[in-house]
Amino acid sequence: MDTISEATSGSRTPPGTVHTTSSKHASFAAFSGSFIEWYDYSLYGTAAAVVFPQLFFPEGAGLVGAFGSFAAGFLARPVGALVFGHLGDRYGRKKMLLLSVLIMGMCTLLIGLLPTYQSSGWLAPALLVLLRTVQGFGIGGEFGGGALVALENAPSQKRGLMGSFHQMGTPAGILVATGVFSLVMLLPQETVMDWAWRLPFFLSGLFLVLALYIRDKLPETEVFQRSEDTKGAKQIPFISLLRQHPGALLLAVGARMCDAVTFNIVNVFGIAYATRELGLANEVMLTGFVISAGIQIGLIPIFGTLSDRIGRRPVYLSGTIVCAMAGLAYFPMLSLNSVWIAWLAIILTQAVGTGLMFSIQGTFFAELFTTKVRYTALGVVYQGSSLIGGAPTPLIALTLVGIAGSYWGAAVYVTAIAIMSFICTLFLTETYRSSILK
């Protein structure tokens, strides 16, 4: 039986150590849910920029409507984070992980079955927003549970590395979603708009079955089982979180804002602006995201391992610095209308900048909190920052570009948020040598 050993007299195993099989299985289970979350997320974001304006909204309101529906899912994320976090902290991680991935996958599958605005009028965007909202509720419970399954089963000296496998699901999901959508876009435009756009959404059903199978075989984390007064506890995890860790909670939300804003500027607003205003082809941008995601998959475990050696804060701070500089350079590089320079801009901003932060977020932020509020804390940090920094970003960028009369409005916004996240990270406690058995 795989166990976690505490530091006791005569113990040969350091605190937080697990047997290899359990650690690897847990990391793969965490990866599977993160993959589906970001496959769904990236797929929707790409479709919102490329095809949804024409399919689900009346003429003249397409782009604003598509970005608005994209933002709708974020509204339900904090609610999902609180509900899943409450149940996960009181009754365990496994059941919540199964439910969250089921909700995410089913909603994506159903989006592929929706009628269009042309065939059903306002019913089409209404159903789209509804499914996007329910999907957001499920996503709200995914990050905290997935990250904790990887972290709480990891050897103490390799928490950064093993936790990074959960984060690898992000670029992997983006890679597959963007790759599949790129292949679909190679078909004639009429075919794409008629039925082919649905195929990537149907593919989510296959990924859902695989993820459910993997997670069903996963045992409950022993860190959770060892925590006192967990099952049936009378305390409310969210209230305990606010009482015990108010400063860490606010700082973590602020630290995570840089990743949330930068990602959505590049992957959602950036596609629409580059193709509509700068004249770059959809295929150029989508290929750039595929290349960047592939590179990020390789970088994430490297960054995770680095954080095990030099600490979480130095790695995370480096990410905010890269995003601050890349944020100013991103749109000027795209405006040069060079395929290679556009790809380089995407790689620097996404693979390197957000990669440095995202690779260790699950581990870094989880280590800041105690076991009995950890699921709730991760959900609030991640989904709260996504709601504040992620959801409105495309619309904010669109407004700022309109006010400034150029892309500099969006560029300065990214850099300002990166500076704020840098400051918040400076005040967070270094955690890479701390125990999670608390």
Integer Cα distance of 177 and 119 in angstroms: 27
Beta strands in 297-417 (DSSP E): none
Domains annotated on the chain, with CATH: 20-426 (1.20.1250.20)
Beta-bridged to residue 17, according to DSSP, are 5
How many CB atoms are located within 10 Å of the residue 390 CB?
A: 26
Is 271:282 a contact under the CB 8 Å cutoff? yes
Structure letter (DSSP) for residue 12? -
How many CB atoms are located within 10 Å of the residue 313 CB?
A: 20
Is 169:38 a contact under the CB 8 Å cutoff? yes
Q: What are phi and psi of 17, to 5 degrees?
A: -85, 140
Per-residue pLDDT of the chain (438 residues; tens, 9 = 90+): 333 433 333 333 444 444 444 677 788 888 988 898 889 877 887 887 778 878 887 776 656 667 677 677 778 888 998 999 988 888 888 889 899 999 999 999 999 999 988 888 889 888 988 898 898 898 888 888 888 888 888 888 899 999 999 999 988 988 898 889 888 988 998 898 899 999 999 999 899 998 898 888 887 777 777 765 545 456 788 999 999 999 999 999 999 999 999 988 887 788 878 888 888 887 888 888 889 989 999 999 999 999 999 999 999 999 999 999 998 999 999 988 899 999 999 999 999 999 999 999 999 999 999 888 998 999 899 888 888 887 788 788 888 888 888 888 888 999 999 999 999 999 999 998 888 877
First vs last C-alpha separation in the chain: 22
Q: What is the dihedral of CA 256, 259, 262, 267, to 10 degrees?
A: -130
